[in-house]
Structure 1
Amino acid sequence: MKKVITRNIPLKIISFLIAVLCWVMIMNISDPYITSTIDNIEVKTINTETMEQHNKRYDVESGDIISIKVRGKRSIIDGLKNTDFEAVADFKEMSMVDAVPIHVSPKQSYKYNANEIEILEQTQMMTLTLEELDKQTFRVNVRQTGEAKAGYYVTELTANPNIIEISGSKRKIAKIKDVVVEVNVEQVSNSYQVTRKLIAYDENGYIIDSDKLDFETKEVTVDVTVLPTKTIPIQVSAVGTPAYGYKCTDVVWEPKTITIAGEQKDLNNIYWLKQEIDINGKKETFPEKRNIEAILEDTYHGVYTLVGESNTFDITVKIDQLGSKDIPIRMSDIQVRNLDSDYEVIFKTLGYVNVRVRGVSGSLSEVSALTIRPYIDLSNYGLGTHSVTVQYKANEGLTIQPVTISVEVVRRE
């Protein structure tokens, strides 16, 4: 038996080695080793607080997303994804050239043994840009988008808090022009409260990446006040007396109406906005601009809010110089009114009388006895001779000197 076991030992060893080699060859053919690239692996940063401890702010120039090459059996490598690896940059290992080594390792999984995966090009670098850390406070501006429902108006948008602190690199902080929270009020008709995210803008109106900034708070609460509206007329009247020989001939203003917002009980108590304009001693036409918001505040102390972008209205007061003109009036031009049907009139004043008419110089050229329509009213006169004042039915704006004529009322034959 011993002779059988020990017989041909070299041949048996060779046969065993050939068998092992065949097994290896078969395994490499069915499940060979391959090399593959895994892309888009996010790099996790740790111990970043060391930057702030040295009053520094960092920006990642490169290395926040990396690719790696791995080697292993096809059955394992083909099933790998970027989420199967952990990449870590420890800021405590930062070099003098502001670079941090990235350490990559496969995560443990039931699908494979981490030791079966070889990571080639093990060490990669995350490059940083370091700047001095800065902190500043900014006012929060509320930006309205959309319009309230017809008949309503957003009178106030109040952010709470309305001032916040933002920290970041000096370069990033210096770029901040405006800190805004946007609120959409489309078709609203009631006051409400909403929470919105803060947005930082640069001087060109572009959004600054919030990942590069540290806000004291990421969101603020905004109180939105919505009130009903009412449209009322503006009334302007001239007060005082122009210089001697001049007359105020017209007062015009634009717009004629304004729309205001307020509590309904307050809107029920306002019907117009009255204004007076002083013309004392004026000798020429003059304009005046008035601030509607200031008038509402001074008169009603914040009860009403002006609706619309324009907060002024324009007044023009027309002042014209007066002239005079003498008009001859014949007795036949004078109309007799309210005379008893049993009587008739005999004009004792013969020929004509001169009447002095004063008015705006430009309008006097068309004034005549026909246009001023002189008449006498005899409703209270009986038989006999009387001195009667001539009256006129002239256009407004004319001042006519009173004159008297002598007439005799007689019984009609």
Structure 2
Amino acid sequence: MFRRNLGLKGISFLFAILFWLFVMNQASPDTLTGEQTYTIPLVARGLPQTMVVMTRLPSIRVRLQGINPSANVKDLYAEIDLSGGVPGENSYDVKVNPPPGTKAIDLQPSKVTLKLDSVQEKTVPVEPVITGNPAEGYELGIPLVRPSAVNVRGPSAILATLDKVIVEVSVTGANDTIQVSRPVSFRDNQGKPIFGPDPTVDILSAYPGSVDVINPVMLKGLSSKMVPLKVTSSGTPAQGKVLSSLIASPASVQVLGTAQALKGFDSLNIGPVDISNLTENKTFQIQNEKVSLPPGITFTKGTVLSVIAQIGPGVIQKEIPRVAVQIRNIGTGLDIDQPASPVNIVVEGLPDTLKNLTSDQIQLWVDASGQGAGSYTDVKLYWQLPPGVTMPTTPQVGYSLKAHEVKGE
């Protein structure tokens, strides 16, 4: 069997070896061989963070001369230096660094014209776009967006025409209040999406990128209303501490009810929160069922109430030594015989207010209107103190006046 058709088998075997050698010696399609023209990407270098390219970067055609089997065409690219770029349209040189052993003999184009713009920030309102219809027998209230505005960063030319961002919410078939978090999107004046030169890269960004939307869905015949919250407290903080402020979160809430029930309902009291012996800030979570609402009025779904009690240091005392006392409104023909001596005073205020307080910031004086020559003790003292500073006790002040002495000729 092995001896049958030996000549044909030998020739076939020889061709197989030659074909294998041919394939093994063929270069990869990604390697650089001979003189060829390649289409390579263009990369921008050195672009400042305060600038953005408003033109799509073109592809570059380059003709390479030389053979470098170790080089890969996928590693080839052209670049432009934008480190000195300024807003507006300008031409920039295109450069290619060919791999060792090769030479770029033709570059098309060798220059590109790009438009740059400065990056700016702008705060714009968020507008909810509601799509669909609620379930039969239900209707929509006024949607609430939190936060109601976002900070947008992008090219100044686009920001100049951007007056809002939108958030889309579907209410199709809803029979209860909808509370969702959705990303904001950017639309131009015709409602079309805003894209940069490269649609795959976002040219605008927002902070925060998503917002919460509460859209009341209620039985027909009900109404919704935003009412501000008012907060009360009970007790006193720990010794040496004071209640700096009470902050309701949110500042206002949306409630549902009939038009008659909502009439005249202009604010809602929550609390009191117990701040007894607090030494630091505390957040109180308020349960909705413990808040007293008028008959026929309810919270919208997802309402969460809290109160932040901010606790600060209490009033302290500080002694200010040797504060000068002025004598004002001295009568005609009188001179000061014995001036009022500097006094040590005690002042009260918050620690931050008194921390850097000096005698130069305090004015003390007595009024000598209508007084004649003589000595005066325990006179009424007047003062002017910096804001937030008080003087709980008044020091005793004395001085004397004398007739003006006329020198002889």
Calculate the TM-score normalised by the size of structure 2: 0.39
Calculate the TM-score normalised by the size of structure 1: 0.39
Q: Greater share of helix residues, 1 or 2? A: 1
